[in-house]
Homo-oligomer: A and B are copies of this chain.
Amino acid sequence: MRAPRIRIRRRERYGFVPGTPPGTVIISPVAHKPVMHVMAYNEKEFTESPITDIEEIRRYLSHWAVTWVNVDGLGDAQTIQRLGDMFGLHRLALEDVVEIQHRPKVDTYGDHLFFVTRMIEEGFPVRTEQFSIFVGKRFVLTFQERPGGCLDPVRKRIRESLGRIRNSGADYLAYSLIDAVVDAYYPFLDSFAERVEAIEEEVLSQPTPVTVSAIHKAKRDLMIVRRVISPTRETINSVLRDGGQPITEATRIYLRDCYDHTVHVLEMVELYREILAGLLDVYLSSVSNRMNEIMKVLTIIATIFIPLSFIAGVYGMNFDTGASPFNMPELRWKFGYLAFLLLVAGVAAFELSYFWRKGWLGERKHKTEDEANDNDQK
C-alpha cells in the first residue's frame, strides 16, 4: 500500500529558500503562469475582461469606483513585482504572496491591508490553496495558486447586482471574497460529516483494521483544516478589533458574521476530532472484546476435551493386563466402556456447569444491540 504523501512539505520544496534576503520574490518552478482578470464596477455599471498588459489596469483604476484584479497562478516573478509597483505594495507582502504555504494572517501597510488565507478544495485528502488579498481604497487585488475556486458566487453578485455589493466600496468586496472562502468550508464539513458517519457505522457494526487507518487519515485531514481555519479566525478577529484603514464600520458588521462562521467551522472541526478520538477507543475496545470471545471459545473447547483425551489415552495404553491383575483391570470389566463413557460425560458436564456459572456460555442475557438502539430513540 502506497501511503499518501504528507502535503505540508511542499513549502520547503518551493516558494521559499532559506537565507535569501527578505522581500525576494522567488518563483516555484511548478507554479502556474499567472492569468489576470479584471472586474470593475460602480453602482450603475460593471465591466470585466482578461488582462495581458498590466498598464491597462491604470485605466480601470481611474474610471471605476471599485476595481478587482484577480491573478490565477504565481509563476512569473516579473508580473507580480510590476503589480506590486503599480499598487505600491510592500516587498515583504509580495514575498508572502508567492510563499505558498504561508500561515493565514493580516498585515496593515499604510493605506492598504494585506490578507492571506487558504481556499479549500473538495475531496479527500484535504487540499488547500493560498489566497492573498490586497485591499486599498478603490481596488482589490487577489492572487490564487490555480484557476478555479469558490469566487464565482461573488462574481455573479457583481454581475447581477445582487445584495449591496455594487453600492459598496472595495472593503465590502474584500469582505465578500473572504466570506466566500470561509463559506466554502461548509461543503467540506458536510462531506466530512458523511465520512465520520461512515466510519462510525463501521466501528459500531463491523470494525476492521482498515477502519483505524481511515480514522487516522480523517484526523490528519482535520489537523490540516484546523491549521488553516484557526489563524484565519484570529486574523478576522484582529481586523474586527483593530479596524484597519480601508475597512469601514458598515463592512465590519458583515465581517462579524464571517467571524462567526470561522468560529463555527472551528467548533465543528473540534467536534469531529473528539468524535474520531472516541471512535478509536470504541474500536480498541471492540478488538479486545472479539479477542475475549475467541479466547472463550478456545478455552471452552480445549478445557473440555483435553482432560477427556487424557482419559481416553489412559485406556489406550498397552500395559500387559496378563502380567498382573493390577494392570488396567478396567479394560476387562463388563461395563468398563460404559463406565468410561459415564466418566467422560460427568467430567464434561462438570466443566460446562463451571463455565455456565462463570457466564461464559450463552453470553448471558443482556440488552441486545437492537434494544439498545430502541432505547436510544426514545
Is B2 a contact of A373 with CB atoms below 8 Å?
yes
Interface majority SS on A: helix, strand, loop or mixed? helix
A78 interface residue (CB < 8 Å to B): no
CB proximity of A337 to chain B, nearest CB, Å: 4
A323 interface residue (CB < 8 Å to B): yes
- Render A231-256 as a binary contact track against B, CB cut-off 8 A, 1 for contact: 00000000000000000000001101
Is B298 a contact of A318 with CB atoms below 8 Å?
no
In chain A, positions 317-350 with a C-beta closer than 8 Å to chain B are: 317-321, 323-324, 326-328, 330-338, 340
Residues in chain B near residue A369, CB distance under 8 A: 1, 210, 213
Is A282 a contact of B336 with CB atoms below 8 Å?
no
Selected contact of A157 from candidates B21, B152, B264, B327, CB within 8 Å = B21
A47 interface residue (CB < 8 Å to B): no
A29 interface residue (CB < 8 Å to B): no
Selected contact of A303 from candidates B184, B297, B327, B364, CB within 8 Å = B297
Is A310 a contact of B319 with CB atoms below 8 Å?
no
Binds B, one of A51-59, A64-72, A80-88, A186-194: A186-194
A200-B3, A378-B124 known; A12+B186 contact, CB < 8 A? yes
Is B292 a contact of A292 with CB atoms below 8 Å?
no
Give the interface centre of A13, A308, A369 by most chain B CB atoms within 10 Å: A308
- Render A254-286 as a binary contact track against B, CB cut-off 8 A, 1 for contact: 101100100110011001001100111111111
Is B331 a contact of A336 with CB atoms below 8 Å?
no
Is B290 a contact of A287 with CB atoms below 8 Å?
no
Closest residue of chain B to A210, judged by CB? B372
Selected contact of A213 from candidates B11, B282, B324, CB within 8 Å = B282
A148 interface residue (CB < 8 Å to B): no
In chain A, positions 126-161 with a C-beta closer than 8 Å to chain B are: 150, 152-154, 157
The number of chain A residues with a CB under 8 A from chain B is: 152
CB proximity of A212 to chain B, nearest CB, Å: 5
A208-B367, A310-B305 known; A187+B125 contact, CB < 8 A? no
A360 interface residue (CB < 8 Å to B): yes
A22 interface residue (CB < 8 Å to B): yes
- Render A22-52 as a binary contact track against B, CB cut-off 8 A, 1 for contact: 1110000000000000000000000000000
Residues in chain B near residue A283, CB distance under 8 A: 285
Selected contact of A9 from candidates B193, B296, B376, CB within 8 Å = B193
Is B319 a contact of A323 with CB atoms below 8 Å?
no
- Render A101-116 as a binary contact track against B, CB cut-off 8 A, 1 for contact: 0110101000000000
A368 to B211: give the CA distance in the assembly, Å.
11
A-B contact pairs, 9 of them (CB 8 A): A18-B150, A22-B163, A103-B263, A210-B368, A291-B295, A292-B294, A301-B307, A305-B306, A306-B309
Q: Would you list the 6 A-B pairs with minimal beta carbon distance, nearest first?
A: A21-B163, A19-B153, A312-B313, A18-B183, A12-B190, A315-B317
